[in-house]
Chains A and B, each alone.
Chain A
Amino acid sequence: MTETAAWWSLLAAPALLLAGAVLAVAGDALLAARAAGRPATVRTALRPLLEVPRLLAAQPRRLPAADRLLWRLGVVTVPVAAVLSALVIPFGGTAVADLPVGVVWFNAMEVLTWAGLWLAGWGPNAAFSLIGGYRFVAQGLAYELPLMFALLSAATAAESLRVGDIAQAQHGLWFAVWMPLAFAVYLAGVLAFSFLGPFRYPAGEDVAAGVLGETSGVDRLLLEAGRWLWLTSGAAMAVPLFLGGGAGPGLPGWAWSTLKTLAVLAVLVWVLRRMPVVRADRYVEFAWVVLVPLTLVQVLVPALVVLGR
């Protein structure tokens, strides 16, 4: 059984999440350096971290008729939701709070970024920023239902919404093995709610970085941190949902959790640079006409298996 950890885990979980995000950023920097013909060294990997002091020193942005309250609220929401979502993810055998409805909690926190990004796009009162915010809503309407069905597949197969129970239920056979479609859709969903790589449509180059376009200083730092924290959180959640959680031979549970999380994270980071941005005008139709029916069938599979047990 997954147990609830001591009070200090409330500090340890965000720290671990941050460490994962830093590793992801470093990995992305290495891949970028290799593509650009720069030497891939440790220095290269750590250079993006210079962003933190740089952005802390930068002047915050003031725009005419900006809705500053909503803007700040949106900017803060994204990283905070990412950290909150990580509270239910078991690390080895312990989670900060192993809620009986952990999967729904994770989903709710992820949906919180809808509000956060829409507000971050709305706040500055600038056209491209606004378009970026709306783009995330359009993207959300496309990725959310397939993602929900993917989460449901895992929950149905385990007959529980508790994340710990789902990890336990996969003794021997990972859900990723017999529900590959749900796993793939889930991973695409992770990229979508962290608006990175092929799903950085809300912050696309064609609208001059969209929701990020008008932010500078701490605001930008929070949004950028938020998307990498979300990527890490999504990768970590994939482990108990589809990859058997902390179970594995030889090593303790926390080590397996870390290894699997890093593996998923590596795959996600690798994909980031390898695909063009998927525009919502194409993806919405694909999601509703192809992905929703497919994932519905995918939910049916574990439902039948559970009934037949």
Chain B
Amino acid sequence: MESVLLAVLGVLALAGGVLVFRCDSMARATFALLLSLCCVGGVVALLGLPYLGVVTVLMMIMEMVVMAVFMVAYMMNPAGLMPMSMLHNRRGSLAVGAGVFAALVIAVFLVPWPARRGGPPPDTTVQVGRALMGGQMLTMIVLGFVLLATMVGATVLATRRGRYDRFGDALDRRTPRDPVGGGVGR
């Protein structure tokens, strides 16, 4: 039963991946990718890691919706009406794809997989938590800060208006000058 489900999800994930490059609309391509990623989440959950599986689905939906917004805004596919193609540099990408696939398949057979000792615990979420937050606590904290700093930095770099535009040259304006008022204190 489980292996049937696994196979179905795997095939669906692949089909979604193929669809991404067959669709001629940004919205459809994005949601085909979402289908593919959700199936991957299902595969992870079926492999006994429900937390990672469901979180994958959760994060991917949010990410893909936000991505759809940006893709539609910035790709030359106005309003999804203009047919477009997701295929670029066919030969190069074909070579890279085939190479990576071959390398992964070879790796599957070459890696000395460890044999299982004992059975899996009933709740793997705790194990995942310990694995991430036990020995790797420092890594995770540093990673978190790096990600946050990247986001803030990217936003600051992308914003055309700096604090001098908002608060005046002497930074003495109490309420910033914004095109639209925000929700807090101004």
Residue positions of A touching B, CB distance < 8 A: 65, 67, 69-70, 73, 99-101, 104-105, 107-108, 111-112, 114-115, 118-119, 122, 125, 134, 137, 140-141, 144, 161, 281-287, 289-290
Contact = CB atoms under 8 A, between A and B. Distances in A.
A114 B63 CA distance: 10
B50 A111 contact: no
Contacts of A65: 81
B182 A282 contact: yes
B27 A111 contact: no
Contacts of B81: 65, 125
A100 B57 CA distance: 16
Contacts of B51: 100-101, 104, 161
Contact of B183 (A69, A108, A141, A281): A281
B34 interface: yes
Nearest to A283: B183
Contacts of B123: 100
A108 B69 contact: no
Given A114-B61, A114-B65, A122-B80, A108 B182 contact: no
B31 interface: yes
Contacts of B57: 108
B25 interface: yes
Contacts of A285: 182-184
Contact of B68 (A118, A144, A281, A289): A118
- Which has the most chain B C-beta neighbours within 10 Å: A73, A111, A115, A144? A115
Contacts, number: 81
Interface residues of B, number: 29
Contacts of B62: 111, 114, 140, 144
14 contacts: A67-B28, A99-B50, A100-B50, A100-B122, A104-B55, A108-B58, A108-B61, A111-B61, A114-B61, A119-B31, A122-B80, A283-B183, A285-B184, A287-B183
Contacts of B34: 115
Query: At the interface, is chain A mostly helix, strand, loop or mixed?
Result: helix
Contacts of B180: 281
A286 B185 CA distance: 9
Contact of B64 (A101, A115, A134, A287): A115
A213 to B, nearest CB: 17
Interface string B62-81: 10111011000000000111
Nearest to B34: A115
A219 B123 CA distance: 40
B46 to A, nearest CB: 13
Interface in B64-100: 64-66, 68-69, 79-81
Query: At the interface, is chain B mostly helix, strand, loop or mixed?
Result: helix
B12 interface: no
Contacts of A104: 51, 54-55, 58
A125 B27 CA distance: 12
A284 B180 CA distance: 13
Contacts of A144: 62
Contacts of A125: 79, 81
Given A108-B57, A115-B34, A144-B62, A100 B183 contact: no
A134 B69 contact: yes
A108 B54 CA distance: 7
Given A107-B58, A122-B27, A161-B51, A290 B65 contact: no
B50 A101 contact: yes
Contacts of A114: 61-62, 65
A67 B58 CA distance: 25
B150 interface: no
B175 interface: no
Contact of A282 (B28, B66, B183): B183
Query: Closest 10 A-B residue pairs measured CB to CB?
Result: A282-B183, A285-B182, A286-B183, A108-B58, A285-B183, A104-B54, A114-B65, A111-B61, A289-B184, A101-B51
Contacts of B69: 118, 134, 137
Contacts of B58: 104, 107-108, 111
A281 B182 contact: yes
A161 B125 CA distance: 9
Given A100-B125, A108-B54, A137 B65 contact: yes
Nearest to B79: A125
- Which has the most chain A C-beta neighbours within 10 Å: B57, B58, B65, B79? B65
B31 A115 contact: yes
A114 B80 CA distance: 19
